[in-house]
Amino acid sequence: NRQIRLAARPVGEVKSEDWSLAEEPVREPGEGEFAGRTRYVSLDPAMRGWLDDRPSYLPPVGLGEVMRAGSVIEVTASRHPGYQPGDFVVGTFGVQEHAVSDGRGTLKVDPALAPLSTYLGALGMPGMTAYFGLLDVGALQEGETVVVSGAAGAVGTIVGQIAKVKGCRVVGIAGGADKCAMLTEELGFDAAIDYRSEDVRKALREHAPDGIDVYFDNVGGDILDAALTRLAMRARVVVCGAISQYNSESGVQGPSNYLSLLVRRARMEGFVVFDYAKRYGEAALELAGWIGEGRIKVKEHVVRGGVEDFPATLQMLFRGENTGKLVLELQ
Ligand code: NDP
């Protein structure tokens, strides 16, 4: 069973020396357990935070431990009454070729209803994040103007499309002309801003002339500052993530103009998707319906390889080399 383990705590950008490739015998499932072979591993920006030895919403990954990751496994042997060989299960099984589980915190999924990778994306954690972040934390109302950063990513593509389903005006911010064209031409966004080549403040003035009602922030930093300058009255700023800050060695850059919250009587609120776990079923059902109707398109970026490709694949997220949900499909 080949595995990726954390070898050292990264400083700044994660380097290949921060990981080790380990191998141990495949373990047989004990009474009440099942074993499975990993098919898809999820790559998530939050993984960067789990590598730092500081308190967060989850404990850090320990040095020498198998890297934490969500994945889909195919059950190969079972001594658990609820799981049969051939079942597919989503869980936090880690970056390894084989996993053994007692089933706690896992979910059986049906490949006949959606491709397996989609249970890590639109119908998985990123989809849940988009749904509850926008509708619950963002309290989105029909007809509002929504701006989402990281718009071409796993969470961002779903945020924008849910907002379109809800009859909103949607502006996406993403890196590069291709991603921006995809947002407006394929996913139905009303406008897209290429933050690499455009002046984001100026573009927001143009594309959100009446101000932003909901700003869904995936990136933080300067783009958050730019969005704060354009808030409408009673706007909601949803703090989902801040990927531009995750590799920073000098701490997180705070908003320089948060007083716009005062002037605009706005609020800014963070959330962690796991707090909505009890309601995942309702969100998955509604998202699956919209996907089935063709109102939400699923964008996935599948890298095929082995567990040894995990470190390089993770870096793609921080270089903007993925479009939609990034997964590693084990061969
Ligand atoms: P994405 O699929 O969006 O991938 C990350 C993207 O971030 C890249 O493709 C890149 O797109 C963009 N990016 C990378 N570096 C920068 C930078 N310096 N400045 C601006 N953009 C950058 O990842 P996810 O959809 O999985 O995650 C999106 C966000 O949601 C992350 O911040 C993540 O931590 C957060 N999250 C929060 C959860 C919660 O419970 N609060 C749960 C899940 C995710 P581009 O080419 O456009 O730059």
Compute the average pLDDT of residues 45-52.
97
Compute the average pLDDT of residues 276-283.
96
Q: What is the pLDDT of residue 61?
A: 97
- Other Cβ atoms less than 10 A from the Cβ of 267: the count is 13
Compute the average pLDDT of residues 242-247.
97
pLDDT in tens, 190-228: 999 999 999 999 999 999 999 999 999 999 999 999 999
- Helix axis angle for 125-132 and 154-165, nearest 10°, is 40
Compute the average pLDDT of residues 175-201.
98
pLDDT in tens, 126-138: 999 999 999 999 9
Q: Alpha-carbon distance 211 to 265, whole Å?
A: 13
pLDDT in tens, 254-277: 999 999 999 999 999 999 999 999
Q: What is the pLDDT of residue 85?
A: 98
Choice from 155, 237, 238, 248 to test ligand 1 binding pocket (greatest atom count within 8 A of CB): 155
Choice from 51, 117, 194, 219 to test ligand 1 binding pocket (greatest atom count within 8 A of CB): 219
pLDDT at residue 297 tops 90: yes
Cβ proximity of 134 and 145 under 8 Å: no
pLDDT at residue 55 tops 90: no
Q: Alpha-carbon distance 224 to 171, whole Å?
A: 14
Concatenating the DSSP letter of every residue in 164-178 gives: HHTT-EEEEEESSHH
pLDDT confidence of 318, banded at 50, 70, 90?
A: very high
Q: What is the pLDDT of residue 96?
A: 98
- Nearest CA to 93 out of 120, 73, 64 is that of 73
Q: What is the pLDDT of residue 23?
A: 97
In ligand 1, the atom with minimum distance to the C-alpha of 242 is: 32
Average pLDDT, the chain: 97
Instruction: Look up residue 267 and give its two tokens.
Output: 């609020």
The model's pTM: 0.97
Domains along the chain with CATH numbers: 2-121+299-330 (3.90.180.10), 125-274 (3.40.50.720)
Choice from 243, 268, 273, 317 to test ligand 1 binding pocket (greatest atom count within 8 A of CB): 243
Q: What is the pLDDT of residue 41?
A: 98
Q: Pocket residues for ligand 1 (CB within 6 Å)?
A: 44-46, 125-126, 129, 150, 152-156, 174-176, 179, 218-219, 240-244, 271-273, 317-318, 320, 322, 326
Cα–Cα–Cα angle for 181, 184, 190, rounded to 5 degrees = 145
Compute the average pLDDT of residues 268-287.
97
Q: Alpha-carbon distance 246 to 13, whole Å?
A: 9
SS3 content of the chain, % helix, strand, coil (to 5): 30, 25, 40
